[in-house]
Amino acid sequence: MGDILDVSNLVTQLRNGARIVDDISFSIATGETFALLGESGCGKSMTALSLLRLLPDGVVKVGGTAQLGGVNLFDLRERDMRDVRGGTAAMIFQEPSLSLNPVMTVGQQIVEVLALHQELRGTVAQQRGVELLDQVGIPDAARRVMEYPFQLSGGMKQRVMIAMALAGQPKLLIADEPTTALDVTIQAQVLQLLRDTQAASGMSLLLITHDLGVVAEMAHQVGVMYAGHIVEQASRAQLFAKPLHPYTQKLFAALPGAARRNQPLAAIPGSVPPLGSITQGCRFTPRCDRAWALCSEQTPEWTVLEEGRGVRCHLYGRTEERGLRTEDLAHSPQPTVHSPQSSVLSSKSSALLQVGNLQVHFPIRKGLLQRVTGQVKAVDGVSLEIPHGRTLALVGESGCGKTTLGKALLQLIPPTAGSVKLDGHELTGLAASELRIRRAGMQMVFQDPYASLNPKMRVAEILEEGMAALNIGGNSEARQARIDILLDQVGLERIVKWRYPHEFSGGQRQRIAIARTLAVSPRLLICDEPTSALDVSVQAQILNLLKSLQQELNLSYLFITHNLAVVEYLAHEVCVMYLGRIVERGTAEEVLRSPKHPYTQALLSAVPRIDGSGVERIKLEGDMPSPANPPQGCPFAPRCAHTMESCRASYPPATSHSATHIVHCFLYGRDLG
């Protein structure tokens, strides 16, 4: 089987000379998947843009070759390169909302590709567009082809992007983080679609990702990228059996999971160095605990080891000079991570937060007089409790009402009905002045720290703002002393309080956001996807921080997420939410190890596992119904393989499987003993 793509010594740099992609070489065989793995800022996306000659202004390709099907891409005229893009090679970009034209229907955008690369027009092109949408799993494709991007969900928009890419029948598909913003169920559908397309057409795939689970499920060959270099390259089996480079080893050690629940994660200190800041030596040296003098003095050469795998590291290139064997280094132990003594938290401790039958309905208004014609039932009768010092994870697909519930608990969105009690005090219906005081006990950590921090304020001003509003600290001098303590708690140097948010990395900004919530001494933090936009190494730092703060301050967390590995590591209890309702609740062990509700089982089956221990995939048909028009009875019934007549008639009552494990499903009797 020959290679469809052969990249040799590719160099791409800024006009000022800083190299973004530095001496990259790899090849992709026909029908195979090559994964580029690494943190943000390593140069993965810029490598793909270099191959397609789509570099932004100020970035230039200065060396190397790229042979696609035997043709050197860098020798082609721009006119010929247009035929390659979308034809021989196509690309799926990370954010479909920004890649699709908002003023054209999805059908028009697919027909545009067909006309350019397949010379299909008119009715034939329109029919082919419907076939492509049907092929990528979009229901009712004949109707959807006439819709605009804003009328589609995130998963559907990503599938439209894939349909557009497949329209030109490419030999190589470049997928840049194609599942990063998607729920695990939609992610599973997209990955299965890519595998099915490969099997049917023999297409090759260049997959760019930072998700080790996706790599384990999809890749044949893997290149680990760091600061512009490929530092390790191996087959999937080789890499997951025995990672060699210290950076790769640390990526694996930073993964959360049940096995590391009682110990801190092995986070990688620091961050990817700025472009051009390290001109000699190994670029991972400042973050490597196995570096020695040579690592700072000389850039390691590419070393080919057994069975064709390669690594760029002095530990392997100079082993004979140090009297060490490669085999010993490959099996060298990971740094020992000592777990601090944690207090024993009783599951029967008194509840800090009590929520009873909470509802959040938004009116649908139509007509000139804006009459109410219906309700969007975003949260529809949720009850839960969170004890002191415990973490309750709230999981479910996008659109199920998780974030709305979190904001309703804080009274940022007024509940339609129900009760929210914090430490026994009712919050719903309070006057604004009284609510302001009570709200100090609950704070929210948002998903995007950059969007939630005021870019015009220094860190000290951001942290002092909440304290001043609630008269905490007495005077400015006392507040500055409190700010210094807060920065110590979240692992930042005190001097950084005079900087602006844009001067920090993503992980540092999230630490600042957490420090801001702690400034008013809350007892409950509502964390809304606080690690979803972070690399695995930075995610480990934030999870370690949250865990240590919980042990130190006895904080309670409502952790909103769709990352079930994080839930396994952090949560004591789990609530599974679907279309505004809690369908299953129990301890993390009960829900994740013995799920009862068909929806929970489908969620867990969709999670990629790096150890290959995944269960049989449960495919969900269709998309989540609209909360403006929920189905009668069980909201999951239209997508459930076990639907009975009773499921369509009424909502299932709660069934207890243990003192802590409750499920709403007619598959189980009311009393299971």
The helix or strand, by DSSP H or E, that contains position 361, with its residue range, turns out to be: strand 351-366
Amino acid at 420: V
Q: Do 1-88+170-256 and 354-664 fold alike per CATH?
A: yes
Lowest mean pLDDT among 99-113, 290-304, 310-324, 395-409: 310-324
Q: Is the confidence at residue 671, as pLDDT, over 70?
A: no
DSSP 597: S
Q: Average pLDDT in the 238-260 region? A: 91
Q: Average pLDDT in the 466-481 region? A: 87
> Taking the CA atoms of the chain, what radius of gyration do you get in angstroms?
26
Q: Average pLDDT in the 168-194 region? A: 86
Domain ranges for the chain, please list them: 1-88+170-256, 102-169, 354-664
Q: Average pLDDT in the 257-276 region? A: 82
Angle, helices 459-469 vs 476-489, to 10°: value is 120
CATH architecture label of 354-664: 3-Layer(aba) Sandwich (3.40)
Q: Is the confidence at residue 670, as pLDDT, over 60?
A: no
What integer pLDDT is reported at residue 450 of this predicted model? Answer: 79
Q: Average pLDDT in the 236-259 region? A: 92
pLDDT digits (tens, 9 = 90+) for 36-67: 999 888 889 999 999 999 998 889 998 999 99
pLDDT digits (tens, 9 = 90+) for 126-158: 999 999 998 887 878 898 899 999 888 777 888
In percent, the amount of the chain with pLDDT more than 70 equals 93
Q: Average pLDDT in the 558-578 region? A: 93
Q: Is the confidence at residue 669, as pLDDT, over 60?
A: yes
What integer pLDDT is reported at residue 1 of this predicted model? Answer: 61
What integer pLDDT is reported at residue 124 of this predicted model? Answer: 94
Bridge partner list, 366: 371
pLDDT digits (tens, 9 = 90+) for 602-643: 999 988 888 755 567 888 877 788 888 889 999 999 999 999
Distance (Å) of CA 501 to CA 185, 336, 482, 496:
34, 33, 19, 10
How far is residue 576's CA from residue 591's CA, in Å, rounded to a whole number? 9
What integer pLDDT is reported at residue 343 of this predicted model? Answer: 36
What integer pLDDT is reported at residue 183 of this predicted model? Answer: 79
Q: Where are the beta strands (DSSP E) in 396-449?
A: 417-422, 425-426, 442-445
Q: Average pLDDT in the 442-471 region? A: 90
Residue 377 DSSP SS3: strand
Q: Is the confidence at residue 15, as pLDDT, over 80?
A: yes
Q: Tell me which residue of 618, 577, 613, 615 sits closest to 598, measured CA to CA.
A: 618
pLDDT digits (tens, 9 = 90+) for 374-386: 888 999 999 999 9
How far is residue 272's CA from residue 115's CA, in Å, rounded to a whole number? 43
When comparing pLDDT for 387 and 368, which is higher? 387
In percent, the amount of the chain with pLDDT more than 90 equals 59
Q: Which of 38-52, 398-412, 458-472, 571-585 has the highest mean pLDDT?
A: 571-585
Beta pairing class for 33-37 and 204-209? parallel
DSSP string, 278-335: --SS-TTGGG-TT--HHHHHSPPPEEE-GGG-EEE-HHHHTHHHHT--HHHHHTPPPP
End-to-end Cα separation, the chain, in angstroms: 59
| CATH topology assigned to domain 1-88+170-256 | Rossmann fold (3.40.50)
Q: Average pLDDT in the 503-529 region? A: 90
What integer pLDDT is reported at residue 28 of this predicted model? Answer: 96
Residue 234 DSSP SS3: strand
pLDDT digits (tens, 9 = 90+) for 220-229: 999 999 999 9
pLDDT digits (tens, 9 = 90+) for 312-363: 999 986 544 443 444 444 444 443 333 333 333 344 457 999 999 999 999 9
